Amino acid sequence: MDMSAVTAARWVERWECQQQRYAVDREERFTVIADVVEHVTHTTSGRRLLLDLGSGPGTLAARLADRLPGSEVLAVDADPLLLELGRAHFGGRLRYVRTLIGAPGWLDALGLDRPVDAAVSTTALHYLDRATLGGVYRDLAERLRPGGVFVNGDHIAPDSAPIRALAQDLGRRHSERSLAFTHEDWSSWWSGAAADPELAPLLPSPGAAGHPPCAADDLPVSAHAALLRRAGFRHVGTVWQYGSSRVLAAVR
């Protein structure tokens, strides 16, 4: 039986609230990412092709679809429950694809028939270790059109340890002022989903590809920039930052 729209709306709203605990000024970060994509693709002829990597239910992808009508927007994730929540809530505005980002041949599942204009990600790729992340950057550089952009909004720390500590404290203070820590956390959301009879059957079975194991190297911004340039991106830089919450743009 298909998931009801009412159930999906309730759980997507809970997801949105829960995620505010982990992304400083999350809504502004989304707006900046959409601004970058609009700026880079405003002269694109034909239908834009946009990827949201580690999309969850597709909350950022849906914002891109609203900002850039007529675009083909792919919400890409490995979790079947989050993808189904998105399908039931956002409907045909997005195309949902299940694949484990960074796994061998992960891009093949997307069925891309033309170069990608922009790829985005937010609070997702920090799961990956350095080698896997470098491979993902290379894969994206190969599929993006010349002049296309990759935009990553994530926890990306400054290089200096004292500045990193300062940035983390500033982010914590901002989250406290905005009451972000009053929302439920990641574990609470997933425990609630497992207890909902409409959602529980969609949870990944033990051992199945769902959430990638968190094997991140906690790379500073200079390491991300080096990996991106090595992958083939010509221009890399920070376009927005609050604390350690950063939007990094890389142009092919």
Place of tokens 């092919």: 252
Question: For the segment 59-115, what is each residue's pLDDT rounded down to a tens digit?
Answer: 999 999 999 999 999 999 999 999 999 999 998 889 999 999 999 999 999 999 999
Tell me which residue of 169, 181, 178 sits closest to 244, measured CA to CA: 169
Calculated CA dihedral for residues 13, 15, 16, 19, nearest 10 degrees: 160
Asked whether the predicted pLDDT for residue 137 surpasses 80, the reply is yes
Q: Cα–Cα distance between 107 and 115 in angstroms, integer?
A: 12
C-alpha dihedral, 221 to 227 to 228 to 229, nearest 10°: 110
pLDDT number for residue 44:
82
- Rounded Cα gap, residues 163 and 157, in angstroms: 9
Looking at the chain, the whole-number percentage of residues with pLDDT higher than 70 is: 94
Mean pLDDT of 24-29: 92
Cβ-contact 40, 248 below 8 angstroms? no
State the pLDDT at residue 206: 53
